[in-house]
Amino acid sequence: MPGLLSASAGIWVMAGGRHETPAQNGIAHFLEHMAFKGTKRRTSLQIAEEIEDVGGYINAYTSREMTAYYARVLQADVGLALDVIGDIVLNPSFDKKEIEVERHVILQEIGQALDTPDDIVFDWLQEASYPDQAFGRTILGPEERVSSFTRKDLQGFVAEHYGPGQMILAAAGAVDHDAIVKQAEAMFGSMKAKPATSFQAAVFKGSERREVKDLEQVHFAMAFDAPGYRHPDVYTAQVYAMTMGGGMSSRLFQKVREERGLCYSIFAQSGAYEDAGQITLYAGTSAEEIGELTQITMDELKRAADDMSEAEVARARTQIKAGMLMGLESPSSRAERIARLLAIYDRVPGVDEAVARIDAVSVADVRRYAGELAAADSALALYGPVEAAPSLEDIRKRLAA
């Protein structure tokens, strides 16, 4: 990326929450935490100091399909960043004392999530969408599982899933491609291949979860079965979600918040994965107004199939393209995009290819998709004073009417 003086580099491992067995639920996230707790060459303090001594930043995250370890540093320190990241991925010490410390940290993280209604409601929505499936389980894992993981458990998950064929090294910014390849060969060249591990297919089986609690608001989250990222409708789903709840000009924001004042926060988003996808809605409102908010929201979803306009679709296409192109100006976003696209397509499609697919979405496509969505399987999660909130069955009937 010409003109930049910094870079982002990392390792993306194709081992996330959906690769866990029920007994392992939460272990991929536990491993992410342990990455910074010491290796055979560095203590946890040395890991932090080596990156921060050069003004850098190091972090990690766990998703349903991958675990990422990455750093942002200045141009001269890319080699150091890769050395540290490679060390934490290849040589974790899994010190028993550090395991216990980090176990307590994760249990606190779980407790914090439970105390954050607009966070935990999405975990419950995922479970309601994919019940009794790896894809539906929480990434953090339940307390009882996290409390029982051992050093042997962590080593076993790494041994099963952390092979060269399951890893992607991506870097962007002020980088020297040849130097990175040479360093990667030295660091990872001796790794032995591991067989690709299978995972349970995701099958949307919508249900309802309703948790009554004395809160100020009802937290409403709803999901609809949607295309995975290889499906031809994946960009249509993105454009649809943007028109419905992707910004201040979107239909739900205007109708529910600006015209009726029924909520402070309302949005719609589209998510796509290997073999599944979701259109997700969220709103927070009072117990007295959840019924009205739900009715208006469902009516807007139905109306989109009949009167979605060219102006709305054009605006949504532009918003999606702008978000993508602006993101490409960040080396961290670009490195992550490289890794994700390699995982999906085994290549990095050009930006022009993505722009062309977005531009190809027409008003007719969005109207058709809106009509199909109204009949798609759906799931519902409600949290707070939800005794009077409509049921999933009531919502489905209104959509079908």
Calpha distance 69→16 (Å, rounded): 12
**31 burial via Cβ count (<10 Å: 0-12, 13-18, 19+):** buried
Question: Token pair for residue 350?
Answer: 């050009």
Exposure class string for 68-86: b at 16+ Cβ within 10 A, else e: bbbbbbbeebbebbbbbbb
Catalytic residue among 20, 32, 102, 127: 32
Q: Any idea which residue has 């050093």 for tokens? A: 151
State the number of CA atoms in the 13 A half-sphere of 392 facing the CB. 20
For the chain, what percentages of helix, strand and coil (3-state, to nearest 5) are there? 50, 15, 30
- Taking every pair of C-alpha atoms in the chain, what is the biggest distance, in angstroms? 65
**In terms of residues, how long is the chain?**
401
Quickly list H helices, 77-192. Answer: 78-90, 96-114, 117-129, 143-146, 151-161, 177-188
Calpha distance 355→20 (Å, rounded): 35
Annotated catalytic, 32?
A: yes
- Catalytic positions are 32
